[in-house]
Structure 1
């Protein structure tokens, strides 16, 4: 009997109870932290939580809220009861049902889960699933959108007329016609059409070699290239029926790539407009900007130019002297 008592006191694991704290250590000198009811210390061993299979876990009588076990089958891992003893809800530590980001090792993919959370980069008030306070740059391959209508601030390479870029801005043109809504739906230019290219000119006929002016100034038609949209059929109808369009405005604006704020700086307005030429162009296969476009030429009687920053305006009658 004395030998048994001696062995109990000389066991490697030493239990000490100090002010209702329990310390378990393998050196006999460790004191439990006052904030812990149980404090375990070891440099060579770990803590082994009770191991149960899923059937045994689900049949624990009235498991306490917060009860911890390790499940050995099915989806292995640590589980704790997040419910009540009478209605347990076992949740694994690796549960991703509420995770914002998830990783699928089978597909080598990290993705945003389908919950209602949003991500803000440079902003704490995202207005969409992903909002950035600044420009997004694609170093290669560009951007891909699903088929359908996309509302976006368009930023295109510098070699496309109408989208020429300076060091600190992007240039865009919107065409807005009376009673002919387009499909762009860009903020501030709802129901306008996005213009990819615009060509216009005015000249005075003259005799080469110093012969002087030989006639009145001539206004060339305004010719635009635009994406095929819901305004396309209406422009064809205008050409066929010749009813005319009261007014068309071309808004030239630039977009700050850092703030994405737009500023209209120049407006051309034409009045008493006739559609005089219309073509579809779908020959640029593989070019997402020029693949399906309209090429439309407009004649007009009145044209007005307005440089907005300084309020410089001028108007001319295209059929006048």
Structure 2
């Protein structure tokens, strides 16, 4: 518990890029006012709404943000939070939302563009988690990234091939530590809101992964295909300011990074899809060589307090504040969830 709480104050910052972020078009269709997941094949965008309509609906948008088609499937999901497009055209929906930590299983829905669907149920090894981010690595293996108000985001992948008939166990393979930032946006003006993971995307060649928070995107180079290892390397941060509830992110096949927000809250009536051209070039593999160990001849009084030496109360206070802010944001949400 102590380590998780200390992460809020002690996680180091990342390198920050300040590329031009341009507006592409505006979504005004109310069917996507809770836009939660976005994917691209280069000609069309695929989008899911974070709501309970009793069936799977993936909306197809043209490059002007107009809905031109809707792919439907009879499966009734619980809480779809993200979307990824596989190389074979299958749309993978992350039915992994669990605000109340009440689900015994979460699910991935593999949806064909003809509306065919397969459901794969999953179980965590260590209790229940809320998650809003899905990545498919270069081999098509799914990775789920949790939404943690305290401590590091946790990364899970299946231990075996996905099953249609029984839940597949997940294993934790990485942790991602994200610091709070001063980027404006999100449902509340709080550093807590700037550090929870709300979406994810993988470049077409599988060489760059992106995680987003309500306010920023983080790019992780994956030069050797090992996504779990890559997510524990310091990323490059790209601010995405002034998105009311930014949860969507994807790459176009030409490596443009696209982001968008929910709307219908805080007086917003539309969501702007924004683009960072050639974003993958901003993520470069880096290696850090730790300094050689040095003999410690000083006395205890010569050293500043370490995290273990510091009083627990400030950390506990930060943790309580974080939980209170997250709870308030959830109460403000208009989402309807039923087990």
TM class by shorter chain equals under 0.3
More strand by share: 1
TM-score of the pair, normalised by structure 1: 0.20
Higher helix share: 2
Answer 1 or 2: higher relative contact order, Cα 8 Å, separation at least 6.
Answer: 2
TM-score, normalising length from structure 2? 0.19
Please tell me whether Structure 1 or Structure 2 has the larger radius of gyration of its CA atoms: 1
